[in-house]
Structure 1
Amino acid sequence: MRWGYTLMTEQAGPAQLVRDAAAAEQAGFDFEVISDHYSPWLDSQGHSPYAWSVLGAVTQRTERVGLMTYVTCPLIRYHPAVVAQKAATVQLLSDNRFTLGLGSGENLNEHITAAGWPPANIRHEMLDEAVQIISGLFDGGYLNHSGSHYRVDSAKLWDLPEVRVPIAVAVSGAQSVARFALAADAMIAVEPEPGLCESWDASRGNHSPTRKIGQLPVCWDQDRDAAVARAHEQFRWFGGGWKVNAELPGPAGFAGATQFVTPEDVAASIPCGPEVEPILKSVREFVDAGFTDVALVQIGGGHQEEFLGFAASTLLPALRELG
């Protein structure tokens, strides 16, 4: 098992995220993932810097940890050929520590270019085609592509890393697993769904096993009541599930959709407070489901230093024993 730390752009500015990345490496985390958003989920989170600029700075402030987008949507806001260029550049800057995490995105971030928000089946088609384009550019040489959703005219990555950028794709069920298990180098999922990892491995057949990377929000604080209140204020959107979260267009929509969610509802699904055991209990679900990596999200942009101290002294040793 590998244990990760999340640079959550929705809850901190760029300079703090870079400092947190360096501190998380010092604390002993194995890898770090970064969200790639144009908007926060809720106004109370209050931030959303450009993830790729932050990543460039993080490559120069860290030396050991793996880096990864969790996740980038290469459908509307970004053209897949540009995503390939960004990923290759970060791989070079990080000395081959980068993994490109991709997903079909959310209306929250993609509607801003006014190109419309397609239904889920079309988004999966677009993601499939985008992965083909990105992989083709990673192969080297010139790429021409004329598909159902994208065109690429004589594109080439002029600065291509010696180590090919691994591609991880977010999946949620049998349809997306079947579509991407052979096209990707790793699996991403935010819920420890039973059988998801097993079906991913089965779909890959005789191909080599891959990383299966999950994510878990926590709200650590010496005061449990304060932790529950903070988790409710900033993370109550999480309980809607991705089928809902992918469709709402902005923070006002998430505020309205979660107006009747109580602090107790949030605390029932997110470990809150000073104890390590509730976190381990939630992590065990990912371990038992077959995940190889879990990235933790500490809720609250101003509460990272204390959490990282707790992680170094208590949480990471317990996780390594569990793993």
Structure 2
Amino acid sequence: MIRFGYKASAEQFAPAELLKYGVLAEELGFDSVFVSDHFQPWRHDGGHAPAALPWLGALAARTERVLVGTSVLTPTFRYHPAVIAQAFATLGCLAPGRAILGVGSGESLNEVPLGLAWPDGKERFARLKESVQLIQRLWSEDRVTYEGQFYRTENATIYDKPATPVPVYIGASGPAATRLAGRIADGFITTSGKGHALYTDTLLPAVREGAEKAGRKVDDLDLLIEVKVSFDDDHHRAHQDTRHWGALALSPEEKTGVEDPIEMQRLSDALPVERTATRWIVSSDPDEHIARVAEYLDMGFQHLVFHAPGPDQERFLRLYAERILPELRARG
């Protein structure tokens, strides 16, 4: 099944405004609404960081059809995995068949300001794997006593659980975590704009390899990609809108060790718009835009979640629903 979703930009909009956009996305025919779970945004001025857990509950109450979930939440530092298991079991009860838990290994921007130590990638990966396995056990068993490397429980029980466990999607941009998604998760999440070879030669083969090692079929997983799009009739406007998200164009070396939104904003604002636009499909031509987005369908992704950078999200949602989604659905 091909799905098209909306990325609710929690780092850009206040909670009530963001909720309005999530509800509108359902009204306009989008299939899903995903939100990130940041403790701090990418920029200080004009930045926001509503908590994903209560926000998703409000969205679930205001909608009837769309899938709702995180892209992504880190269940390893600020949260104990058992707390996330409880929260998403509750969401699954409130919105049966519509909740998705998308998880990742995290970013120091969200954890270091709380006084938490930020370990290397090997430990973050190990924590992610252990947390997902513990969450899945808490959903499938009663009175779970668990003694892991990083987490432990003693006769822990999640009392209110949906009839069907909430799907877990693992977000990754490297082969190890992608193989993990293939082995133990219900879906895989990644982001666009990083060069086609990364997807076709590294990530998609890795998720397939992981699935096959676990005796699973990759077709049983939801392959989700968050597609960065800046579409508008005014090409100049579409180009300039990418400035707010300049942090996405910073290299890993440029933002490693930066945990302060003020400093992240300074680094981002120093970039020319020609560089901030590189992570986005920037277009004012519907045919060109559809062709570029459809490349991800051709690669094998089945669930495209669209993230637009501009301040007028209602304009984007209506334009996209009218001029882009119908053609994409026809192709899908």
Corresponding residue SS for 1:9: coil
Q: Which runs of 5+ in 2 are unaligned?
A: none
CA distance in 2, matches of 1:140, 1:241: 43
Q: Which whole-Å CA distance do the structure 2 matches of 1:242 and 1:321 have between them?
A: 37
Aligned equivalent of 1:80? 81
Classify 1:268/1:129 alpha carbon distance in 2 versus 1 (closer, same or farther; 3 Å).
Answer: closer
Q: Pick closer, same or farther for the CA change 1:257–1:173 going to 2, 3 Å.
A: same
1:29 maps to which residue?
30
1:265 is matched by which residue type in structure 2? Answer: R
1:262 equivalent to 2:268? Answer no
Match of 1:159, SS state, is: coil
Q: How far apart are 1:41 and its partner, in Å?
A: 0.5
**Mapped contact 1:140–1:160 kept (Cα < 8 A):** no
Native 8 Å contact 2:169 2:181 kept in 1: no
Which moves more between the two structures, 243-252 or 44-53?
243-252
Give the match for residue 42 of structure 1.
43
Q: RMSD across aligned C-alpha pairs, in angstroms?
A: 1.9
Q: 1:199 maps to which residue?
A: 206
User: Any idea what the Cα deviations from partners look like across 1:63-109, whole Å, max 9, x if unmatched?
Assistant: 11111110010111111110111111111111220111000010111
Superposition deviation, residue 278 in structure 1 = 4.4
Residue 109 (1) aligns with residue 120 (2)? no
| Structure 2 equivalent of residue 318 of structure 1 | 327
Identity over the aligned pairs, expressed in percent? 31
Moved over 3 A (4+): 241-247, 256-260
Local SS of the residue matching 1:152: strand
The aligned residue for residue 146 of structure 2 is 145
Alignment partners' CA distance in 2, 1:76 and 1:65: 29
Distance, in Å, in 2 between the alignment partners of 1:85 and 1:255 is 35
Q: CA deviation at 1:249?
A: 1.0
Structure-to-structure mapping, 1:138-287, within 5 angstroms = 138-191=139-192, 193-195=199-201, 196-205=203-212, 206-208=215-217, 209-232=220-243, 234-240=244-250, 247-287=257-297
TM-score with structure 2 setting the length? 0.90
For structure 1, list consecutive stretches of 5 or more residues without a partner in the other structure. none
In structure 2, C-alpha distance between the alignment counterparts of 1:163 and 1:61, rounded to whole Å: 22
Q: CA deviation at 1:238?
A: 0.9
Quote the Cα distance in structure 2 between the aligned partners of 1:109 and 1:269: 22
Which amino acid in structure 1 is aligned with residue 12 of structure 2?
Answer: Q
Which residue identity lines up with residue 263 of structure 1 in the other structure?
V
CA distance in 2, matches of 1:39, 1:217: 20
Shift of 1:243: 7.5
Residue correspondence of structure 1 range 293-312 to structure 2 within 5 A: 293-300=303-310, 302-312=311-321
CA distance in 2, matches of 1:157, 1:268: 44
Q: Which moved more, 1:302-311 or 1:100-109?
A: 302-311
